[in-house]
Amino acid sequence: MSATPDRKPRLSPGEIRARKGAEPVVVLTAYTTPMAQLVDASCDVVLVGDSVGMVLHGLPSTLGVTMEMMIMHGQAVARGLERACLVIDMPFGSYEESPQQAFRNAARLMVETGAQAVKLEGGQHMAETVRFLVQRGIPVMGHVGLTPQSVNTLGGYKVQGRGADGERVLKDAVAVAEAGAFSVVLEKLPADLGARITREIAVPTIGIGAGLDCDGQVLVIDDVLGIFTGFRPKFVKRYAELGQISAEAIAAYADDVRARRFPGPEHLFASELAPKPEGKA
């Protein structure tokens, strides 16, 4: 008999897939153990996004993120999760060359972090890779629409799928879903296109700037909490302004140090050699 009580396993990609058309799927990013512990109770999926490069490492885009960075942050997040399904982004250059390259790197991510799935960007041209991975036991979350790793070919972080371009994005989503992805992220699309794709594919859509009709939503946790001070996309809703609160707290600490108000008497340790007060035994 186990010396510790059995712990319920984290939500699986199969359970997320089964949520199609049911209760919306809640997804947030996390990059550290403390943040993973905070989001775990409320989220169905926790994504270790390659956005970590911009949010925590100060990179200008996600293109400089490496496998080693994703593994390090994936391991940190895994330590903080009990309930949510853990998905890790495959970084740029780790899967585009061939399905075989993608399998080697996806397998490494899963083995070294304990993740239950990987996410990769791309539509019709990546369907063969998605199928190759799924057939070999690696669950895949797809990502179509605005794909940040392709920012140089897309000409910036522009809305995708407007006008006739909507058919391309729809075909991308259909191809990835039919290849075996258990869910598909739709990024920065007109809301009516997000709704149409959600109706036409058999797996959950996870929207980020793709409208209310998606089967779930994802945001970057630092955007939600108001910590990230970089570009703020239109689709972000801030639920707190922790960046401002933190800046004020740091300034107050600095003022106390300079004015010699900190540390105060309550923060000090008495010497063991101090004489005992008179009258005390």
Helices (H), the chain: 13-17, 33-40, 52-55, 67-80, 99-113, 127-135, 151-154, 165-178, 191-200, 221-224, 242-258
Specify binding-site residues for 3-methyl-2-oxobutanoate. Answer: 50-51, 89, 119
250 in a structural domain:
no
**How far apart are the C-alpha atoms of 205 and 182, rounded to whole Å?**
9
254 in a structural domain:
no
Average pLDDT over residues 13-23: 98
Full domain range(s) for residue 27:
13-241
281 in a structural domain:
no
Q: Give the pLDDT score at 233.
A: 84
pLDDT tens string 98-146: 999 999 999 999 999 999 999 999 999 999 999 999 999 999 999 999 9
**How far apart are the C-alpha atoms of 247 and 268, rounded to whole Å?**
26
274 in a structural domain:
no
160: buried, middle or exposed (CB in 10 Å: 19+, 13-18, 0-12)? buried
265 in a structural domain:
no
Mean pLDDT for the chain overall: 94
**CATH number of the domain that residue 80 is part of:** 3.20.20.60
Contacts of 255 (CB under 8 A, 6+ apart): 261
127 in a structural domain:
yes
Q: Left, alpha or beta for 152 (phi > 0: left; psi -120 to 50: alpha)?
A: alpha
Average pLDDT over residues 27-40: 98
pLDDT tens string 148-201: 999 888 888 899 999 999 999 999 999 999 999 999 999 999 999 999 999 999
Q: Give the pLDDT score at 103.
A: 98
What is the total count of domains within the chain?
1
- Report the alpha-carbon angle 108-110-113, nearest 5: 100
Task: Give me the percent of the chain exceeding a pLDDT of 70.
Answer: 94
> Annotated catalytic residue: which of 187, 248, 266, 272?
187
Specify binding-site residues for Mg(2+). Answer: 50, 89, 121
187 catalytic per annotation: yes
Q: Which two tokens stand for residue 185?
A: 């992220």
- Whether 242 has a pLDDT exceeding 90, the answer reads yes
Q: pTM to 2 decimals? A: 0.92
- Whether 214 has a pLDDT exceeding 50, the answer reads yes
Specify binding-site residues. Answer: 50-51, 89, 119, 121
pLDDT tens string 63-110: 999 999 999 999 999 999 999 999 999 999 999 999 999 999 999 999
| C-alpha to C-alpha distances, 187 to 148, 246, 266, nearest whole angstrom | 9, 30, 51
Q: Give the pLDDT score at 232.
A: 78
Res. 1 pLDDT band, cuts 50 70 90: very low
Write out 103-126 in H/E/C secondary structure: HHHHHHHHHHHCCCEEECCECHHH
User: Facing residues of 216 across strands?
Assistant: 25, 206
Q: What is the DSSP string of 1-43?
A: --SSPPPPPPPPHHHHHTTTTSSPEEEEE--SHHHHHHHHTT-
Contacts of 167 (CB under 8 A, 6+ apart): none
Res. 275 pLDDT band, cuts 50 70 90: low
CB 215 within 8 A of CB 25: yes
Average pLDDT over residues 260-274: 88
44 in a structural domain:
yes
| C-alpha to C-alpha distances, 206 to 17, 62, 117, 159, 272, nearest whole angstrom | 11, 20, 15, 16, 60
Q: Give the pLDDT score at 4.
A: 45
CA 273 to chain centre: 53
Res. 8 pLDDT band, cuts 50 70 90: confident
